[in-house]
């Protein structure tokens, strides 16, 4: 499950939000449950794996849709609220914007201001941003495919109680 752990610990993702959508509950205990699995203190359950896989596939599709929206809006040439188009509860946009900004020699703050139309945006920046969203969506699908292979040899937890003791 190393690829699943790598996916969940990626800096583009907000672990607390991932945990809340995977377990469909809110709270510190829910967030800690996922963190303990990411850190390797506890094993994933089969239900954890299936829920994470389902949610991550949906997120990768949504990232592709966001990239398509960014491309369409840029081609239309309208003034857009770019930050609103990029919103997703799982994503830490600061890391994404920093990564894309490196290619253009811009800091996070200059990028953020350019998306709010306070300063001029470099030519092709929105295209680079949509490309990064697509790249990340593809990377998520690749990690999920690797996790599918790793699943065959992984020892899943069966939870608390007598059934959890192997011997």
Is the sign of the CA dihedral 105, 110, 116, 121 positive or negative?
negative
Q: Considering only CA atoms, which of 123, 131, 88 is closest in space to residue 106?
A: 123
pLDDT at position 160, please? 63
**Distance in angstroms (rounded) separating the CA atoms of residues 37 and 41:** 6
pLDDT at position 116, please? 82
pLDDT at position 14, please? 92
Mean pLDDT, each 10-residue run in order, the chain (167 residues): 92 92 90 90 90 95 93 80 83 91 89 81 88 96 94 80 45
pLDDT at position 78, please? 66
pLDDT at position 152, please? 87
Rounded to whole angstroms, the maximal C-alpha distance in the chain is 65
Asked whether 59 and 139 are in contact (CB, 8 A), the reply is no
């Amino acid at each position: 499950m190393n690829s699943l752990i790598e996916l969940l610990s990626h800096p583009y993702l907000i672990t607390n939000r991932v945990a809340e959508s995977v377990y469909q509950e809110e709270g510190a205990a829910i967030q800690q449950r996922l963190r303990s699995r990411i850190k390797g203190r506890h094993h994933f359950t089969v239900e954890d794996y299936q829920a994470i896989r389902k949610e991550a596939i949906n997120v990768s599709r949504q990232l592709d849709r966001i990239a398509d929206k960014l491309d369409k809006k840029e081609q239309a040439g309208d003034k857009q609220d770019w930050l609103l188009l990029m919103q997703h509860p799982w994503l830490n946009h600061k890391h994404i914007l920093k990564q894309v900004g490196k290619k253009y020699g811009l800091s996070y703050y200059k990028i953020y201001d350019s998306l709010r139309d306070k300063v001029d945006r470099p030519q092709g920046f929105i295209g680079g941003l949509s490309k990064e969203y697509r790249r990340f969506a593809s990377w998520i699908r690749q990690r999920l495919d690797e996790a599918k292979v790793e699943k065959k040899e992984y020892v899943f937890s069966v939870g608390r109680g007598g059934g959890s003791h192997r011997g």
